[in-house]
Amino acid sequence: MNELRKAMKYLAAGSALLLGGGSLVVFTLFLFFGSFNLVNLGLGQGGVLLLDAGLSLLFFLQHSGMVRRKFRRSLATIMPEEHYAALYAIASGAALLAVIFFWQEGALLVAAPPGLLRWSFRALFCLAIAGFLCCGLSLKYFDPFGIGPLLCRHGAKSEQVTLTITGPYRLVRHPLYLLSIVMIWSCPDLTTDRLLFNLLWTGWIVGGAYLEERDLIDEFGDSYREYRRRVPMFIPGLTGRKRKRTHEDGPPE
């Protein structure tokens, strides 16, 4: 039984790495080149935009729904806690690949800057990739596919996660989200479907960041409240304005 349990853990870890990591590689190419147009369903312009919006919504619901603590607690009743992060990576990878596979390309070209401006967009994309690597290296706990909890020895306690502010996180609270938005908008060929994609996914990222902050306040308490007061959410240096106090901030000091 122990050998079977170990084999299942390795299978889950491999699947999380393959689907989670593989989907991110394919998604990066999708952001850089635009739609692959793998499946042409012969839809009109309205149908293309409606289907693409539906695909985006399905991914948003899966990705944001599974990360909520209420969903996680309910899932904990039927599966071990250490499997959750890997399952999340597998489900997110599968959903993301479905979006890319069925995404329909719009017929109208909104913008396509030429020459130096076009290459500037490409350079900005590459800088965002470098920024992702920098963020990953600066994080003490960085396990996007949930492999660590699966492969740790049975009975070993996972290391307590603490609020550590290093690297780009000294400038903005959500550098990975900021870099994602930069990558989304750095494709120079702006078709109607890509414009829809950019608007929907940017809105989802910004909204998700606000929801995530609630969880971070619940987890780290006053430490994260103080971090929020000192460091802006997305734009470096934007700390001059006084942010309205909310119920999450607690009483004035």
For the cut 70, the answer to whether the pLDDT of residue 155 exceeds it is no
Tens of pLDDT, residues 72-88: 778 777 777 888 889 99
Between 250 and 138, the higher pLDDT residue: 138
CA 227 to chain CA mean position, Å: 21
Helix (H, G, I), strand (E, B) or coil at 244: coil
For the cut 90, the answer to whether the pLDDT of residue 245 exceeds it is no
- Beta carbons of 66 and 92 less than 8 angstroms apart: yes
For the cut 50, the answer to whether the pLDDT of residue 251 exceeds it is no
Q: Residues 6 or more apart from 135 whose CB is under 8 A from it?
A: 167, 168, 169, 175, 176, 179
* Interval 191-204 mean pLDDT: 97
* Interval 148-172 mean pLDDT: 73
Give the chain's count of helices (H) and strands (E). 10, 2
Between CA 198 and CA 180 the distance in angstroms is: 11
- HSE, side-chain direction, 13 A CA sphere, residue 104: 19
List domains and CATH numbers for the chain.
2-239 (1.20.120)
Instruction: State the pLDDT at residue 60.
Output: 97
Instruction: State the pLDDT at residue 158.
Output: 52
